[in-house]
Amino acid sequence: MKLTSQKIAEKAGVSRGTVDRVLHNRGRVKPETAEKIRKIIAENNYQPDAFGSNLARRQERVIGVLLLDPENPFFQVMKKGADDAVSQYKDYKIVLKMKNIEGGNEESYLTALNELQENTDALAIVGYNTPKIIQEVNKLCNKIPLNTMNTDMPDSDRIGFLGIDDFRAGQCVGLLTKEILPSGGNVFLMSGRKEIKTQEKRVEGFLDYTKQYTDLNISKVVYSGDHADIVYEETANAFIRHKYDGAVLMGAYLNAFTKAIDDLNLSYRPKIIGFDLIDANRKLLEDGKADFVIGQQGYFQAFNTIHSLCEYLIHKTPLSEGIHLLPITINNHYNI
Amino acid sequence: MKLTSQKIAEKAGVSRGTVDRVLHNRGRVKPETAEKIRKIIAENNYQPDAFGSNLARRQERVIGVLLLDPENPFFQVMKKGADDAVSQYKDYKIVLKMKNIEGGNEESYLTALNELQENTDALAIVGYNTPKIIQEVNKLCNKIPLNTMNTDMPDSDRIGFLGIDDFRAGQCVGLLTKEILPSGGNVFLMSGRKEIKTQEKRVEGFLDYTKQYTDLNISKVVYSGDHADIVYEETANAFIRHKYDGAVLMGAYLNAFTKAIDDLNLSYRPKIIGFDLIDANRKLLEDGKADFVIGQQGYFQAFNTIHSLCEYLIHKTPLSEGIHLLPITINNHYNI
DNA sequence: TTGTAAGCGTTATCAA
DNA sequence: TTGATAACGCTTACAA
């Protein structure tokens, strides 16, 4: 026989209504009674039936999702992950309230966060580390469960983080570079923005590996600001001046990167490694314009985060705290 | 207002009971009435409420899962995928009936299949292609939905297949080999069993690529029968006789493969590529004993297959027909 | 062949 | 501070 709230009520010598009030901390129960009921619930390891409660419940639950730059295809991949995760729970009346912030400055982030937080039962956000934002996030953490994705906010009170180990990703690129380039080869290195921690960690990991384990000559890091035209321009400039056996891009716009090299009609084709398994980059692999693309599993970063929040909202499954890292993916022409 | 079976009944001028009988093809309804109700259901795009029906329904649903060799860690990975998928549906009273077949002969497969099929609402099986088994599978296909995983049975009436493109996986290994070996290098190639189609396809893909695009010298394929000791022995023999710059294993027991090479204390360390991201092989990557491991996403092969079957059983979500291929994974020391 | 009514386990309102 | 009761949408005996 299934354990029901009715049985709990009988054991406690009260009615179902009272048990329910205790279950949802809805107050209006004498403390002693509440304590007694709680004890019985714990002892019998009672878990409310999901169907019963969802059949009876009225209002929907809302999960707020905050992503960055809507132009960046990477965040569109995350969006898809979030949508797919919640669509698995469509029976449960869970809806997503999704916001992208444009511009990427502190102010727009705070505005978006504030709009997102109203009438929301849980939050999944891509982190942004400024004192003011951390402060604001901490306020929210007191009210509802909040997880970070992709970019952590380690100094905040967020419950958990899901992302990748960017330093390790950089090391991985280092190893691949070593394996596919001749000893002593020259490598052109470009990144997006120094302030973006995830990208900078990749650079560090890459330099760490190549210095320790290779005799490759790595160029000074060139920063593109993650602007497609600057990626193109600076890459072209670099390859006009020097011969590089390999080219590594830690930031966005790998297509501009490869195009710059392509357009120069060099007599040789440098090995090219970039980041993010987005459609544009899939095509580069397909067409043989890039050799390796490192994927950061944006889809699963969002999917898994939303998934856990759903489980929490429905079954009160505890959210796992701390940092969780997905392995990156290594992609070439044959596994896109 | 939510569309309920009650409303459908009213529109059709019948009772809920009748609608329900139509909904579940439980018979005992006048054909004309049934037709009328069906039409109204279709017109209004009515979908039964999952909570209502699950609250009311009594019996559990059973999904049968047939895996091969329980000794092979790869199938343990698949088992985990299947378990995880169904555990997402624990509210729904769906249980897994899982069978591994030992020995791997036709007879044990048929016995297992037969035991599995009793009182089962859907089947997910790793294929095995013999006329007799195909015949038996086709019988089952008439009764319940059946999908293949990992190894297809293209000549059967199975609904869909989820696996990887083994030929492409072989090509991928070819490309990697080319990239990390010197031009003109020698490669030792081993596989498991010629009769296992998935492995043989890998071999074909590998030879196809290396012949077309490289000047590598590939050894004659040595077959181990997927026995650890033979893997060890034959590999040792090969490396005693020749110097190989690289070693590729398409079958199981990469650990025996690397150990054989290790134990010879060669003055050089050949590049090693193998298959299946199982724990043993993770460790080889970690310890630097292998350079690349190709993962066939066994976890997701099982997870996704079971997941679709659950969706089908609960929401009648149509199962997608035909062949579905997951991209393989490329793994090295930095993404295990 | 069809309709009726009693559950399934929870929530929420209202009365006590 | 509590308890009774009516939903919620569906399934399934059983009655008609």
Contact at CB, A54 and B51, closer than 8 angstroms: yes
Angle, alpha carbons A275-A277-A283 (nearest 5°): 105
> Nearest 5°: phi and psi at B233?
-60, -50
3-state secondary structure of B68: coil
Residue A200 CB partners (closer than 8 Å, separation 6+): A191, A194
For the segment 2-31 of chain B, residues whose CB is within 7 A of strand D? 2, 4-6, 16-17, 20-21, 23-24, 26
Distance of CA B28 to the CA centre of its chain: 40
**How many CB atoms are located within 10 Å of the residue A26 CB?**
9
Which residues does residue B330 pair with via DSSP β-bridges, in sequence order? Answer: A330, B294
pLDDT at A58 over 80: no
What span, in angstroms and rounded, lies between the C-alpha atoms of A293 and A253?
A: 12
Would you mind telling me the total number of residues written for chain A in this entry?
336
* Dihedral sign, Cα of residue A242, residue A243, residue A248, residue A254: positive
Are the C-beta atoms of A247 and A273 separated by less than 8 Å?
yes
Question: N- to C-terminal Cα distance for chain A?
Answer: 50
Is pLDDT larger for residue B153 or for residue A52?
Answer: B153
Distance of CA A104 to the CA centre of its chain: 16
Give residue B297's region: left, alpha or beta (phi > 0; psi -120 to 50).
left
pLDDT band for position B55 (cuts 50, 70, 90): confident
Are the C-beta atoms of B66 and B79 separated by less than 8 Å?
no
Predicted local distance difference test score (pLDDT) of residue B316? 87
A41-55, A128-142, A281-295: which range is least confident on average? Answer: A41-55
Does the beta carbon of A195 lie under 8 angstroms from any beta carbon of chain B?
Answer: no
pLDDT band for position A32 (cuts 50, 70, 90): confident
Angle, alpha carbons A201-A207-A212 (nearest 5°): 130
Give residue A316's region: left, alpha or beta (phi > 0; psi -120 to 50).
left
- How does pLDDT run across B89-143, given as a tens digit for each residue? 988 889 999 999 987 789 999 999 999 999 899 999 999 999 999 999 999 999 9
CB of A44 lies under 7 Å from some atom of strand C: no
What span, in angstroms and rounded, lies between the C-alpha atoms of B158 and B143?
A: 11
What span, in angstroms and rounded, lies between the C-alpha atoms of A218 and A206?
A: 10
Average pLDDT over residues B8-12: 88
Tell me which residue in A50, A169, A335 faces B329 most closely, judged by beta carbons.
A335
Question: For chain A, how many helices (H) and strands (E)?
Answer: 13, 13
| Rg (chain B; Cα; Å) | 25
- How does pLDDT run across A291-328, given as a tens digit for each residue? 999 999 999 999 999 999 999 998 889 999 999 999 99
Predicted local distance difference test score (pLDDT) of residue B222? 98
What span, in angstroms and rounded, lies between the C-alpha atoms of B123 and B136?
A: 13
Predicted local distance difference test score (pLDDT) of residue B172? 98
Predicted local distance difference test score (pLDDT) of residue A134? 98
What span, in angstroms and rounded, lies between the C-alpha atoms of B260 and A135?
A: 58
pLDDT band for position B156 (cuts 50, 70, 90): very high
- How does pLDDT run across B292-310, given as a tens digit for each residue? 999 999 999 999 999 999 9
Average pLDDT over residues A35-41: 88
Which chain A residues contact residue B176 at CB under 8 A? 332
Mean pLDDT for all residues in chain B: 94
Torsion of CA A124, A128, A129, A134, to 10 degrees: -40
| Residue of B55, B334, B336 to mutate when probing chain A, most A C-beta within 10 A | B334
Provide, rounded to the nearest whole percent, the portion of chain A with pLDDT above 70: 100
pTM attached to this predicted model: 0.93
Does the beta carbon of B183 lie under 8 angstroms from any beta carbon of chain A?
Answer: no
**CB environment A124-162: b (16+ within 10 A), e (fewer):** bbbbbeeeebbebbeebeeebbbbbbbbbbeebebbbbb
A48-62, A102-116, B297-311: which range is least confident on average? Answer: A48-62
Question: N- to C-terminal Cα distance for chain B?
Answer: 50
Closest CA to the C1' of D11: that residue is B56
Strands B61-67 and A160-164: unpaired
pLDDT at B58 over 80: no
